[in-house]
Chains A and B, each alone.
Chain A
Amino acid sequence: MTSTAARSRKVHRKSLGRRIVDNWQPYVLLLIPVVITIVYKYGPMYGIQIAFRNYNPGLGITASPWVGWKWFERFFKAPTFDRMLWNTVKLSFYGLVWSFPVPIIMSLALNQLRFKRLKRTVQTVIYAPHFISTMVICGMLRIFLSPSGGLINLLAGTQIDFLTEAGAFRTIYVASGIWQEAGWGTIIYLATLSSVDASLYEAAKVDGASVFQRILHIDIPCLLPMIILQLIMSVSGLMSVGFEKAYLLQTDLNRATSDIIAIYVYEQGIVSAKYELGTAVGLFNTAINIVLLMIVNRIAKKFGDVNFV
Chain B
Amino acid sequence: MSVLSKRKQGELSGMSDRASDIVLVIISVIILLIVAYPLYYILVASFSDPYDVYAGKTFLLPSQATLDGYKAVFAEQNIVRGYGNSILYTVVGTIYSVALIYLVAYPLSVPDLPFKKVVSIFFIITMYFGGGLIPTYLIVQKTGIMQTIWAMFLPGGVAVSNAIIARNYFENSIPGALKEAASIDGASHFRIFFSMIIPLSTPILSVMVVFSMVAYWNDWFTALIYMTNEQAPLPLVLRNILIKSSASASQASMISGGYAELNKMTEMIKFASIIVAAAPMLIIYPFVQKYFEKGLMAGAVKG
Binding site for B on A (CB under 8 A): 4, 7-8, 11-12, 16, 19-20, 23, 25-27, 29-30, 32-34, 36-37, 39-48, 50, 106, 109-110, 112-115, 118-119, 121-129, 131-136, 138-140, 142-144, 146, 148-151, 154, 179, 183, 187-188, 190-192, 194, 205-212, 226, 229-230, 243-244, 248, 265-266, 269-270, 275, 278-279, 282-283, 285-286, 290, 293, 308-309
Contacts and interface: CB of A to CB of B under 8 A. Distances in A.
B293 interface: yes
B188 to A, nearest CB: 6
23 contacts: A26-B107, A29-B193, A30-B107, A36-B100, A36-B157, A40-B136, A109-B24, A115-B25, A125-B36, A128-B36, A131-B278, A133-B220, A139-B243, A146-B54, A179-B35, A188-B297, A192-B297, A210-B13, A210-B17, A230-B300, A244-B221, A269-B137, A309-B124
B297 A191 contact: yes
B300 A229 contact: yes
Interface in B130-171: 130-140, 143, 154-158
B16 to A, nearest CB: 5
A144 B228 CA distance: 31
B138 A129 contact: no
Nearest to B110: A26
Residue from A121, A132, A269 with most neighbouring chain B CB atoms (10 Å): A132
Residue from B17, B20, B281 with most neighbouring chain A CB atoms (10 Å): B20
B35 A275 contact: no
Given A23-B113, A124-B286, A139-B274, A43 B31 contact: no
Interface in B166-198: 180, 184, 188-190, 193
A149 B25 contact: no
A279 B13 contact: no
- The 4 lowest CB-CB distance pairs between A and B, nearest first, are A44-B131, A149-B54, A139-B242, A282-B132
Contacts of A114: 21, 24
A247 B75 CA distance: 29
A43 B235 contact: no
B194 to A, nearest CB: 10
B259 interface: no
Interface of B: 6, 9-10, 12-13, 16-17, 20-21, 24-25, 27-28, 31-32, 34-36, 38-39, 41-42, 45, 53-56, 100, 103-104, 106-107, 110, 112-114, 119, 122-124, 126, 128-140, 143, 154-158, 180, 184, 188-190, 193, 214, 217-221, 225, 235-236, 238-239, 241-243, 245, 270-271, 274, 277-278, 281-282, 285-286, 289, 292-293, 296-297, 300, 303
Given A45-B129, A48-B135, A122-B32, A8 B180 contact: yes
B104 to A, nearest CB: 5
Contacts of A23: 110, 112-114, 189
Nearest to A8: B180
Contacts of B113: 19, 23, 26
Contact of A118 (B28, B112, B135): B28
B137 A188 contact: no
B9 A208 contact: yes
Given A44-B135, A129-B35, A16 B114 contact: yes
Contact of A50 (B135, B188, B271, B292): B135
Contact of A139 (B184, B270, B285): B270
Contact of B189 (A7, A26, A190): A26
Contact of B282 (A119, A122, A132, A187): A132
Contact of A44 (B132, B236, B270): B132
Contacts of B110: 23, 26
Nearest to B236: A135
B130 A45 contact: yes
A79 B297 CA distance: 45
Given A132-B278, A187-B292, A211-B17, A37 B41 contact: no
A23 B242 CA distance: 53
B35 A183 contact: yes
A142 B158 CA distance: 34
Contacts of B31: 106, 109, 122, 126, 183
Given A30-B119, A149-B56, A211-B20, A45 B13 contact: no
A270 B35 contact: no
Given A20-B114, A113-B28, A140-B38, A46 B126 contact: no
A40 B155 contact: yes
B243 A33 contact: no
A208 B134 contact: no
Given A19-B114, A29-B193, A211-B16, A135 B220 contact: yes
Given A20-B114, A127-B289, A148 B28 contact: no
A165 B138 CA distance: 37
Contacts of A134: 218, 220, 235
A202 B35 CA distance: 33
Contacts of B34: 179
A235 to B, nearest CB: 13
Contacts of A138: 242-243
A290 B128 contact: yes
